[in-house]
Amino acid sequence: MTGPKRSASLPPGLIVRSGRFVWTTMWHTMMSRIAPRSKGGEYIRPASEFRDWVGEEPYPASPQRYRLIVGLGCPWAHRTLVVRALKGLEGVIPTVQVSPSADEGVWVFNQPFEECRTLPELYQLAKIGYRGRATVPVLWDMVTHTIVNNESADIIVNLNSAFNGLAQRPDLDLYPEALRGEIDRWNDRIYPAVNNGVYRCGFAQTQGAYDQACEELFAALDEIDEVLAQRRYLCGDQVTLADVRLFTTLFRFDVVYYGLFKCNRRRIQDYANLGPYLRDLYQLPGVASTCDLEAVKRDYYGNLFPLNPGGVIPNGPDMTYLQSPHQRERVSVG
């Protein structure tokens, strides 16, 4: 009498190796769509293509003429919202919101805009045959029905000065002539290592690319933390565009970059000076209203499928500490 038949099955090792090969191949394919890379696996951010300015022909500074198209989870778009709030331009430049579609891989308008459902459709309206990425923020002209600018670094400079005749706080200069050299130097230091550095960590496709990006990121954060021991803001006692550009990355750091992007050497709130500095900026008039924590978590954890295939959105962390006293007014360059 023979025993029961054993069902044929693949050796566990073969299953694991096959699954890893298939997933790794698919992962690299998906990552190449959202994160172009170098031969060494390092993330390369494509350049913006629309670089015109309000205040120059044919774009005069007029109330209600322009729309600021933003995704609330995007740090680059968030910069423009912060400057708009600090300058008091909410009644001058309305916003139009888009949200990322996990299924389509593009930004979709929350409400149809210019008869467009998606942001790529709007880019095509602005430039027929456009083949680049459709990104936010976008400064859109309702008169010529085109994109004025889609580079956040340009837009925040433009918002700081071009609309002063219409702003509630025209005397607030976030890019003063006397500090422009220092602001630009900070931007040149912070952009590759921190603003884009967290993406270089999260989107790295080789261990070497990740290790290099991670070292540069935390070397820059350590350096900034030391400087902030002697200065309330990056350039002294006055908040500038350098602080705005850093703020939107710091706000997201403990929420998404620390875990999802593998930037987990240290949290911002654990730094002696960067933590209180973040709270200081968050508590500036109007800034907190631009910060949507749930949108940040939803957009990153819910839509970056290659980094979070299950789409599970974490409950934490608790960010109420941002409202606690910062005592940064005690720090002065004087």
Model pLDDT for residues 56-88, shown as the tens digit of each residue: 999 999 999 999 999 999 999 999 999 999 999
Rounded Cα distance, 61 and 65, in Å: 8
The pLDDT, as a whole number, for residue 13 is 72
**For residue 159, pLDDT beyond 70:** yes
Alpha-carbon dihedral sign for residues 124, 129, 135, 137: negative
- The boundaries of the domain holding residue 256 are 177-289+318-330
Tokens at 197, concatenated: 């550095």
Residues 134 and 191 in one domain: no
Domain edge (last residue) among 161, 186, 217: 161
Residues 187 and 275 in one domain: yes
Q: What are phi and psi of 179, to 5 degrees?
A: -110, 0
* Per-position DSSP letters for 154-198, written without gaps between them: HHHHHHHHTTTTT-S-TT--SS-GGGHHHHHHHHHHHIIIIITHH
137 is a domain residue: yes
Rounded alpha-carbon distances, angstroms, from residue 238 to 26, 132, 275, 294, 334 = 48, 37, 18, 30, 12
The pLDDT, as a whole number, for residue 129 is 94
Task: Taking residues 117-145, report their average pLDDT.
Answer: 95
The pLDDT, as a whole number, for residue 78 is 98
Rounded Cα distance, 260 and 137, in Å: 23
Model pLDDT for residues 264-320, shown as the tens digit of each residue: 999 999 999 999 999 999 999 999 999 999 999 999 999 888 788 888 999 989 999
Question: HSE-up of 11 (CA within 13 Å, CB side)?
Answer: 3
Q: How confident is the model at residue 239 (pLDDT cuts 50, 70, 90)?
A: very high
Q: How confident is the model at residue 215 (pLDDT cuts 50, 70, 90)?
A: very high
The pLDDT, as a whole number, for residue 176 is 98
The pLDDT, as a whole number, for residue 205 is 86
**For residue 29, pLDDT beyond 80:** no
Residues 216 and 137 in one domain: no
Question: What CATH number has the domain bearing residue 113?
Answer: 3.40.30.10
| Domain total in the chain | 2
pTM over 0.85: yes
Task: Taking residues 133-156, report their average pLDDT.
Answer: 96
Q: Which of 301, 243, 248, 246 is nearest to 77 (CA)?
A: 248
* Beta strands 146-149 and 116-118, pairing class: unpaired
Rounded alpha-carbon distances, angstroms, from residue 311 to 33, 72, 76, 330 = 18, 18, 23, 43
220 is a domain residue: yes
The pLDDT, as a whole number, for residue 49 is 85
Rounded Cα distance, 83 and 240, in Å: 10
The pLDDT, as a whole number, for residue 41 is 56
Residues 153 and 90 in one domain: yes
Rounded Cα distance, 328 and 53, in Å: 35
309 is a domain residue: no
The pLDDT, as a whole number, for residue 27 is 47
13 is a domain residue: no
Residues 151 and 193 in one domain: no
Rounded Cα distance, 168 and 286, in Å: 12
Q: Which of 333, 331, 256 is nearest to 301 (CA)?
A: 256
Question: What CATH number has the domain bearing residue 322?
Answer: 1.20.1050.10
Residues 119 and 190 in one domain: no
Residues 145 and 231 in one domain: no
Model pLDDT for residues 173-198, shown as the tens digit of each residue: 999 999 999 999 999 999 999 999 99
What residues are labeled active site?
A: 74, 199
Please give the residue that has the higher pLDDT: either 45 or 203.
203
Neighbours of 92 (CB within 10 A): 20
Tokens at 236, concatenated: 């002294």
Model pLDDT for residues 36-60, shown as the tens digit of each residue: 555 565 555 566 789 999 999 999 9
- Indicate the range of 14-28, 131-145, 219-233 predicted with least confidence: 14-28
Report percent pLDDT > 70 for the chain.
86
**For residue 26, pLDDT beyond 70:** no
Rounded Cα distance, 61 and 84, in Å: 14
108 is a domain residue: yes
300 is a domain residue: no
Q: What are phi and psi of 141, to 5 degrees?
A: -100, 120
Alpha-carbon dihedral sign for residues 155, 157, 162, 163: positive
55 is a domain residue: no
Domain edge (last residue) among 134, 161, 188: 161
135 is a domain residue: yes
